Amino acid sequence: MPTACARHILVKTRDEAEKLKMRIAKGEDFARLAKKYSLCPSGKRGGDLGEFQPGQMVKAFDQVVFKKKVLTVHGPVKTRFGFHLIETIYRN
């Protein structure tokens, strides 16, 4: 079974996610922004979700983590929780 490690920032609106994505693209620190803005408890750890397998996260989240480019910030990805910016750290 494949595993991956990812971090994310969860916010309420697409607009907020887009603005944070632009700040990251300009060089701001993902973890620092996650600590300040993420609505998920993982924000306290800089958005770090640790290692997990397919099926442990919602489908839209898995689609990014297990299929898209590693070490790239993807999103906004909409789920029932809100809008995510997702970065896969590694996948094996």
For the chain, the domains span 4-91
pLDDT digits (tens, 9 = 90+) for 37-79: 999 999 999 999 999 999 999 999 999 999 999 999 999 999 9
CATH 3.10.50.40, domain 4-91, yes or no = yes
pLDDT at 19: 98
Q: What percent of the chain has pLDDT over 90?
A: 100
Contact residues for 23 (Cβ-Cβ < 8 A; gap 6+): 33
Mean pLDDT of the chain: 97
**47: helix, strand or coil:** coil
β-strand partners of 52? 4
